[in-house]
Amino acid sequence: MALLVELSGEQLELASQEAWAAASTLSGGEVEVLFVDHPALVLDAPEVQGRDLALRLGLAHHVSDQAITGPLEVAAELAGSIDIGDAGSFRVRVRKTTSSIEGNDTKLLEAKAGTIIQERTGVRVDLEGPDVEVRVMLAQRAHSGLLGGSVDRKAFEARAVRHRPFSQPVSIHPKFARAMVNLARVPLGGVILDPFCGTGGMLMEAAMLGYLPWGTDYDPRMVEGSLENLSSMGLEARLDVADVADAIDARDLRPDAIVTDPPYGRSTSVHGRDPEGVLEKMYSMAADALPKGGRLVVCLPSTKMLPSERGPFKLESIDSIRVHRSLTRHICVLIN
């Protein structure tokens, strides 16, 4: 099925990678990218429903089924051809992007497409509480589909570090943590390890996606804090106090992927240890712990912190997030 993913407009390359990775996980194999027309992304994802994909994403707004694409001039006709099934009511919503040509009146387009659907089906328009919604995105081209699901963006803000019972000043935002978990492409129900669990942000997102989250940390306070934060949300995880080098030694679990935001130089987090040495320990542990093809998804302030000797790792992707003028984070995906 072709899916129209309406990306959130922030970090578009990362958002595209996340959507493709999450759809690939749901389909059980790599999906085909049909169109990249930021912030529209059209995927050929057999047997993946828009509702299911929307529930997994962090960097998107909506996902629609029956995605079709054409010139801007026929946007109304595209939307008018969408199959609304046996719905008793519908509405059309148009999203215009900065890259679409000037002069497209979204309200007129909604009315025109609505008229086409109504004349074809006899179904009434309901702008307030429709049974279904036909979505239209105008970028370089027109994209349309039947809304399958929407991303609950407010829920990500509610999980931000400032709202947690236990917090630290530096912590990756939940929407980016969700993207990192999706980039790991772990089969549903698999084990995701964060060896620097901190306040438990990665573990929360992994748990909410149906994975078995496993967190370790050198500092017992972090492990206790992660447990407190997870418990406050009704979530569970495996938690151990351990140095990163010993994260899996003599334990009964093995990770399918490692997803982490290391302390990289924050002295309060590494307890006076050499930050570069801590990272090297992590890379060595990951090489031993991950299965062949397993991914290490790591957030770093500099790509120079990637392993100098890649060893078994193959670099799959790097996506950058500008936090502020003096800090850019790089989300790096390494395959074992």
Helices (H), the chain: 12-27, 50-54, 75-80, 106-121, 153-158, 174-183, 201-208, 220-232, 267-270, 275-289
Please list, in sequence order, all residues whose beta carbon lies within 8 angstroms of the beta carbon of residue 26, skipping any fewer than 6 positions away: 45, 48, 52, 53, 56, 188
Give 11-48 as a DSSP string. SHHHHHHHHHHHHHHHHTSPPEEEEEETTEEEEE-TT-
SS3 label, residue 151: coil
Please list, in sequence order, all residues whose beta carbon lies within 8 angstroms of the beta carbon of residue 167, skipping any fewer than 6 positions away: 161, 199
Tell me 292's DSSP state.
T
Tens digit of pLDDT at every position of the chain (336 positions): 799 999 998 899 999 999 999 999 999 988 999 999 999 999 999 899 999 999 999 999 999 999 999 999 999 999 999 999 999 999 999 998 865 555 568 999 999 999 999 999 999 999 999 999 999 999 999 999 999 999 999 999 999 999 999 998 778 999 999 999 999 999 999 999 999 999 999 999 999 999 999 999 999 999 999 999 999 999 999 999 999 999 998 788 999 999 999 986 544 445 555 667 899 999 999 999 999 999 999 999 999 999 876 678 999 999 998 877 777 899 999 999
Say how far apart CA 266 and CA 270 lie, in whole Å: 7
Tell me 173's DSSP state.
-
What is the 3 state secondary structure string of 62-93? Answer: EEEEEEEEECHHHHHHHHHCCCCCCCCEEEEE
Distances (CA, A) of 206 to 24, 31, 113: 17, 22, 40
Say how far apart CA 72 and CA 149 lie, in whole Å: 24
Please report, as a single letter, which amino acid is at residue 280. E
pTM score, whole prediction? 0.94
Spatial CA neighbour of 83 closest among 32, 127, 147, 6: 147
